[in-house]
C-alpha cells in the first residue's frame, strides 16, 4: 500500500514556505499582532493546534499501512494496540494469515466502520478551519463596534467654539486614538483568522487526500478478498438468510480446517526431516562405534601376544 510520506512532504514544504514568508514580514506582523494580543494570540494558538492535528491525522496512517503490509506478507503483527482505523479488522482476523474470505455484507460493514472513523477525525480538523474564520469575523465586528462607539464619542465631544483651536485639534487627535485602535483590532483579527484558515484548510486538504488514498487502496484490496453470493436458488425461490449465513459459516470453517491441515502437513514434513537427520546421525555414530570396537579388539590381541 502507498505510504502517506509524500503527503507529509507536501505539508512540510508548504509550512516551511509559510514560515519563510512570515519570517520576512515578521516586524509588520508583530506590529499587527500587538493591536489586540489577546484575541490574536487565541487565533494563533488555534492555528498551531490545527496544523498539529492535520499532521497527526496523516502520520496515524503509518501503523495502519504497516499492519496491512505485514498481514499481506503472511506475518501479521499480533498487537493491534496502535491501530485506530483497522482495529475492528485486526480483532476480526486475529493471527490468521493468507487469503481470507469476506462476504459482501461483512465487507460493507467493515468499510463503513473505517469510513466513520476517518470522517470523525476529518470533521474535527474542518472545525478548526471554521473556528479560525469565525474568530477572524468576531474580531472584525468587535473592532468595528469599538470604532463606531469611539467615533460617536469623538463627535459628541468635538467643539470648534473658542479661541484655542490648537487645543481643540489636540483633543481631536486624542479622541481618534480609540477608533483607530478598534480598526486595528478589526483588521488584525481578520488578517490572522482568514490567513490561518487558508493555511489549515490546505493542510486539511492534503490530509483528506492521504486518507482517501488509504481508503481506496484498502477497499480495492478487500474487494479482491470478498466472496460474492447471489442469494442462491433461482429468482423465485431464494435461499433464506439464515441458510445463507450457515453456508458462509460452513465455508469459513472448511477454509480454517484446510489451513489447519496444511499446517499439520508442514509439521509432519518437518518431523520426517528431523527423523531422517537423526537416523543419519545414528548411522554415523554406529560406524564410529564399530571402528572403535575393531580398534579395541586389535589392541587386546596385541597385548595378549
Query: Rounded to whole angstroms, how far apart are CA atoms 107 and 94?
Result: 16
Q: Which of 7-16, 82-91, 296-305 has the lowest mean pLDDT?
A: 82-91
Is the confidence at residue 197, as pLDDT, over 50? yes
* Mean pLDDT, all residues of the chain: 76
| Helical ranges in the chain per DSSP H | 5-24, 26-33, 37-59, 61-72, 87-93, 104-157, 165-175, 177-224, 241-304
> Residue 235: its pLDDT value, please?
47
- C-alpha pair distances (Å), 189 with each of 27, 42, 46, 117: 17, 10, 13, 33
**What span, in angstroms and rounded, lies between the C-alpha atoms of 193 and 198?**
9
177 contacts 105 by C-beta, under 8 angstroms: no
For the stretch 204-249, pLDDT in tens is 999 888 888 888 888 887 777 665 554 444 444 555 555 666 666 7
Which are the contacts of 60, defined by CB distance < 8 A and separation ≥ 6? 84, 85, 121
Q: What does the pLDDT average to over 22-28?
A: 90
Task: Give the Cα separation of 71 and 68 in Å (integer).
Answer: 5
Question: Is 90 exceeded by the pLDDT of residue 20?
Answer: yes
Q: In the structure, what pLDDT confidence band is assigned to residue 202 with cuts at 50, 70 and 90?
A: very high
Question: Is 80's pLDDT higher than 60?
Answer: no
C-alpha cell at 200: 489549515
In the block, cell 449465513 appears at 245
**pLDDT for the residue 75:** 63
pLDDT per residue over 107-128, tens digit each?
A: 777 778 788 888 877 888 888 8
pLDDT at 178: 55
Average pLDDT over residues 141-165: 63
Q: Which are the contacts of 103, defined by CB distance < 8 A and separation ≥ 6?
A: 226, 227, 229, 248
- Other beta carbons within 10 angstroms of residue 273's beta carbon come to 10
pLDDT of 168 higher than 90:
no
| Spatial separation of the C-alpha atoms in residues 305 and 298, rounded to whole Å | 11
Q: Indicate if the alpha-carbon torsion angle 80, 85, 89, 92 is positive or negative.
A: positive
The domain limits of the chain are 5-227, 240-305
Model's pTM, two decimal places?
A: 0.64
Q: Average pLDDT of 155-180?
A: 56
pLDDT of 233 reads: 47
Amino acid at each position: 500500500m502507498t505510504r502517506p510520506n509524500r503527503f507529509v512532504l507536501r505539508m512540510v514544504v508548504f509550512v516551511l514556505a509559510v514560515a519563510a514568508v512570515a519570517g520576512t514580514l515578521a516586524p509588520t506582523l508583530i506590529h499587527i499582532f500587538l493591536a489586540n494580543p489577546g484575541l490574536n494570540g487565541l487565533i494563533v494558538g488555534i492555528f498551531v493546534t490545527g496544523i498539529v492535528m492535520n499532521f497527526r491525522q496523516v502520520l496515524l496512517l503509518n501503523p495502519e499501512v504497516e499492519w496491512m503490509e505485514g498481514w499481506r506478507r503472511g506475518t501479521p503483527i499480533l498487537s493491534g494496540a496502535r491501530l485506530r482505523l483497522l482495529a475492528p479488522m485486526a480483532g476480526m482476523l486475529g493471527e490468521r494469515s493468507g487469503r481470507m474470505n469476506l462476504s459482501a455484507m461483512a465487507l460493507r460493514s467493515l468499510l463503513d466502520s473505517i469510513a466513520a472513523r476517518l470522517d470523525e477525525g476529518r470533521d474535527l480538523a474542518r472545525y478548526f478551519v471554521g473556528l479560525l474564520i469565525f474568530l477572524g469575523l468576531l474580531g472584525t465586528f468587535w473592532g468595528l463596534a469599538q470604532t463606531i462607539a469611539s467615533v460617536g464619542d469623538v463627535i459628541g465631544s468635538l467643539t470648534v467654539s473658542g479661541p484655542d483651536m490648537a487645543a481643540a485639534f489636540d483633543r481631536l487627535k486624542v479622541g481618534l486614538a480609540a477608533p483607530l485602535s478598534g480598526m486595528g483590532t478589526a483588521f488584525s483579527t481578520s488578517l490572522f483568522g482568514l490567513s490561518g484558515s487558508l493555511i489549515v484548510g490546505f493542510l486539511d486538504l492534503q490530509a483528506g487526500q492521504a486518507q482517501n488514498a488509504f481508503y481506496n487502496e484498502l477497499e480495492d484490496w478487500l474487494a479482491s478478498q470478498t466472496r460474492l453470493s447471489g442469494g442462491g436458488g433461482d429468482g423465485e425461490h431464494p435461499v433464506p438468510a439464515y441458510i445463507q449465513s450457515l453456508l458462509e459459516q460452513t465455508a469459513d470453517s472448511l477454509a480454517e480446517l484446510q489451513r489447519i491441515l496444511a499446517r499439520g502437513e508442514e509439521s509432519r514434513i518437518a518431523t520426517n526431516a528431523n527423523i531422517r537427520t537423526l537416523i543419519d546421525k545414528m548411522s554415523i555414530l554406529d560406524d564410529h562405534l564399530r571402528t572403535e570396537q575393531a580398534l579395541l579388539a586389535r589392541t587386546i590381541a596385541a597385548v595378549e601376544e
